[in-house]
């Protein structure tokens, strides 16, 4: 009886090992079979990801995804679903990787694997220069503040953002309550803010780099209010359950740090090295 029990346990262990091995290589097998890496990102988040004049995806995250695919020996394919769909996880093979300026938090970490940090940039409050502009961050109190739906800035405004364990500093809130205005894209947020503060919205929360990009392209329309709200760490994300793919992503990004590629692409798009 004891021998039969030991044999059964051994067989179960063997099956488990085979199953784990099959799951571990699933992502890489899929990429090799199709000959392409499918990366997911936001369509309107310049200079990280945006449609250029040729109606092609461009930006820092796009360049990194293409370089990552090149090192795998495959082509890069970019898809841009709704942000709340991307951050929900459980991709089930639709996408392979998100080099997409995603901020990790406890809720997202339940369904996504945050593999490696690749840059940081402050979150800032932006207002219009017209209408009734906000003059300091505490002016957010009770006002209509926009943020991308499903994003970390929306969570911040709702006091639900939890980034412990991902290298983030404790959050400070210069407001008790705001009227959170979720938008499907930053393009729409800035369009409404351009009507004047106090019209549809009073301000919005954005990444410092993307805010500066918008201010530069439309001079005289927007301005950043006061000091940054918090430091926003951005990580590469994948679906859960594939250790081999996790290790592959870590190695390739480590290589890009060591050979200067990550710094080079950061400087190209941002003007400085924000990858540290």
- Per-residue pLDDT tens digits for 225-259: 999 999 989 999 999 999 999 999 999 999 999 99
Mean pLDDT of the 124-130 span:
97
- Assigned domain for 158 exists: yes
Q: Are 34 and 69 in contact (CB under 8 A)?
A: no
So what's the pLDDT on residue 1? 39
129-163 core/surface letters (b: 16 or more CB in 10 A; e: else): ebbebbeebebbeebbbbbbbbbbbbbbbeeebbb
Judgement on whether residues 158 and 209 belong to the same structural domain of the protein? yes
Claim to verify: residue 161 and residue 101 sit in the same structural domain: no
pLDDT-derived band at 22 (thresholds 50, 70, 90) equals very low
Q: What does the pLDDT average to over 29-35?
A: 96
Q: What is the mean pLDDT of residues 118-124?
A: 94
Same-domain check for residues 155 and 254: no
Residues 24 and 112 in one domain: yes
Shared domain for 193 and 252, answered yes or no, is no
Tell me what pLDDT residue 164 has: 82
Cβ–Cβ under 8 Å, residues 71 and 78: no
- For 238, the domain range is 18-119+234-270
Instruction: Name the residue among 36, 40, 147, 190 with its Cα closest to residue 102.
Output: 40
State the CB neighbour count (10 A cutoff) for residue 264.
Answer: 14
In the chain, the number of structural domains is 2
Here the CATH number for the domain that contains residue 111 is 3.40.190.10
Q: What secondary structure letter does DSSP report for 130?
A: S
Q: How far apart are CA 6 and CA 157, in angstroms?
A: 56
Q: How many CB atoms lie under 10 A from the CB of residue 209?
A: 24
Q: Is 132 inside a domain boundary?
A: yes
**CA 235, CA 261: separation in Å to the nearest integer?**
17
The gap from C-alpha 55 to its chain's centroid, in whole angstroms, comes to 22
Full strand arrangement of the beta sheet holding 144-148: 98-102, 222-239, 112-128, 203-207, 144-148, 179-183
**What stretch of H or E contains 188?**
helix 186-193
Ranking 23-27, 157-161, 174-178 by mean pLDDT, the lowest is 23-27
Same domain, 114 and 239: yes
Residue 67 and residue 164 share a domain: no
DSSP conformation letters of 131-172: BS---SGGGGTTSEEEEETTSHHHHHHTT----TTTTPPPP-
Number of CB atoms found within 10 A of residue 248's CB: 21
In a domain, 67, yes or no: yes
Mean pLDDT over the full length of the chain = 90
138 plus 67 within the same structural domain: no
């Amino acid at each position: 009886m004891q021998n039969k029990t030991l044999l059964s346990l051994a067989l179960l262990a063997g099956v488990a090992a085979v199953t784990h091995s099959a799951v571990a290589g699933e992502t890489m097998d899929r990429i090799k079979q199709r000959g392409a890496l499918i990366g997911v990102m936001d369509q309107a988040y310049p200079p990280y990801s945006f449609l250029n004049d040729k109606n092609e995806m461009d930006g820092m995250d796009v360049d990194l995804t293409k370089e990552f695919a090149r090192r795998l020996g495959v082509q890069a394919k970019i898809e841009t679903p709704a942000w709340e769909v991307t951050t929900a996880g459980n991709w089930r093979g639709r996408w392979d990787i998100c080099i997409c300026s995603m901020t990790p938090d406890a809720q997202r970490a339940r369904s996504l694997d945050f593999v490696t940090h690749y840059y940081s940039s402050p979150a800032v409050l932006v207002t219009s220069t017209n209408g009734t502009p906000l003059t300091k961050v505490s002016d957010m109190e009770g006002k209509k503040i926009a943020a991308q739906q499903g994003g970390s800035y929306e969570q911040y405004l709702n006091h639900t953002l939890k980034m412990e364990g991902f290298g983030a500093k404790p959050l400070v809130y210069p407001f008790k309550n705001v009227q959170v205005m979720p938008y499907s894209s930053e393009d729409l947020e800035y369009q409404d803010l351009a009507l004047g503060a106090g019209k549809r919205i009073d301000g919005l929360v954005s990444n410092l780099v993307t805010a500066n990009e918008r201010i530069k392209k439309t001079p005289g329309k927007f301005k950043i209010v006061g000091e940054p709200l918090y430091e926003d760490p951005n990580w590469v994300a994948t679906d859960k359950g594939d250790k081999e793919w996790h290790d592959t992503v870590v190695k390739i990004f480590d290589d890009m740090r060591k050979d200067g590629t990550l710094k080079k692409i950061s400087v190209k798009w941002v003007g400085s090295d924000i990858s540290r």
